[in-house]
Amino acid sequence: MKKAVLIIGFLTFCLLLLFFIFCPRIILEKGNITIKLDEEYQEPGYEGKNLFKNLKDEIDITNNINNKKIGQYQVNYKLNYLFYNINKKRIVKVIDDIAPIITLKGNKTVNVCPNKKYEEEGYEGYDNYDGDITSKIKVDYSDNKISYILSDSSNNITKEERALVYEDVSAPVITLKGSSNITIYKGGNYQESGYEVNDNCDDLADSVEVKGSVDINTVGTYTITYDVEDKSGNKSSVNRIVKVIERPKYYGNGKIYLTFDDGPSSNITPYILDILKEENIKATFFVLDHGTSLDYLIKRAYDEGHTIALHSATHDYSYIYSSMNNYFEDLNRISNKVKNIIGIESKIIRFPGGSSNTVSRNYCYGIMSNLTAEVTNRGYHYFDWNIDSDDAGSAYSKEAIYYNVVNNLSYNKTNVVLMHDSSNKQATLAALRDIIKFGKDNGYVFEAITMDTPQVIHGVNN
């Protein structure tokens, strides 16, 4: 009996020994590890073996790691060998160790008016993991600085500061109304046109000192000085230069007849009429037949004291210049239309292309010689021009149109200025006020053409 027990015990011992001798093991290097967001997980190494054999290749490895998400993950190592079933795991932590970023709007050192409170210019908080976390920024105000503290969901902390300096270092700004360079004729009228003053801290509307004066009866250059100082001692000063010059010899002897061809147009003519009205001057409109919908503009121009003159019904060179009959048929048509609108017959006309045109040669040789004589026979006064704004030619800018006109004005002639109020003449409209200003500044008088106006005519070329 004792022997049997010993034998069973011995056999059990041998079995256990065998079990342990063949039993495989998994050995992990480094144990649990931590990686950063977005970092690739790198296997740190492992081994599998028993006393007799390397079993590394038999190990099956799986993991659930997501390196885009903070958390705790597992790597599972599994080894099936004979009747053994060995498992081991490694814990992998994915962490965020990047602090959020605070972006301050405005400067980090701010000058604040001594008599004012700082108004927050704004801030933003952004974290690589949490995204926009502006609302989590803690703002701490103290006398001379503002602290902005931001912690992300992994407790990474960022701090920003804004320094407040209570000092006004900006000078006031004086803006002159009207020109800072004025030229007036001797004996004319100088009027202070005023100024605006702006300061970052103070209201200085009543603090500007204006020095200097203009003797309008003595030729010379005068300086008007505008000085201002804010409550922190920042100063500004601007000058206006006023030149008093002798009147030109012919001052007051010049007349300007502004003429507008090819209208009316709904987008240009009303605004030209507005300017003429505001400037209280009269002009002349050589109209076309653009249909009844624009009749009201012809009526308005007439009612506001301008001269309505005849240009053409069709403005079609190939029709009107192919025969005398055609020309007068067209002229009668526009004449009747105008008469219907304004109630009187206009006898003031302008030939399409002017009386000097050569385009008519294409349709009827010599027709301009005959027409200029015949319209005169029939009691018309035809007008060409002696100043071309070139707004139907190559002058596309308001500056070009302006200079084409003002550079050719003269006190010694009847200045008849050719312009257009057809629908694409925005530049003409834009130049008009400056042309009028130049004329007025230089003593010209603006008039509408009448039957008493000396005719300005070109030489006939056909």
Residues found near Zn ion in the complex (CB under 5 A): 261-262, 352
The structure tokens listed for 376 are: 């005169």
Specify whether the CB–CB gap between 164 and 196 falls below 8 A.
no
Nearest-approach distance from CB 201 to Zn ion, in angstroms: 59
In this chain, which residue has its C-beta nearest to Zn ion? Answer: 261
Specify whether the CB–CB gap between 92 and 73 falls below 8 A.
yes
The structure tokens listed for 110 are: 């701010």
Nearest-approach distance from CB 414 to Zn ion, in angstroms: 20
Whole-Å CA distances, 228 to 181, 225, 233: 20, 10, 9
Specify whether the CB–CB gap between 122 and 106 falls below 8 A.
yes
Our CB check for Zn ion shows the closer of 261 and 295 to be 261
Q: Tokens 């801290």 label which residue?
A: 201
Our CB check for Zn ion shows the closer of 262 and 421 to be 262
Nearest-approach distance from CB 240 to Zn ion, in angstroms: 44
Nearest-approach distance from CB 228 to Zn ion, in angstroms: 54
What is the spatial distance between Cα 152 and Cα 158, in angstroms, rounded to a whole number? 9
Count other Cβ atoms within 10 Å, centred on residue 127: 21
Q: Which amino acid is at 221?
A: T
Nearest-approach distance from CB 452 to Zn ion, in angstroms: 24
Our CB check for Zn ion shows the closer of 79 and 288 to be 288
What's the half-sphere exposure (Cβ side, CA atoms, 13 Å) at 49?
8
Our CB check for Zn ion shows the closer of 96 and 262 to be 262
Please tell me what DSSP assigns to residue 138: E
Our CB check for Zn ion shows the closer of 352 and 439 to be 352
Our CB check for Zn ion shows the closer of 100 and 263 to be 263
Nearest-approach distance from CB 217 to Zn ion, in angstroms: 47
Check whether the bond before 24 is cis (ω within 30° of 0).
Answer: no
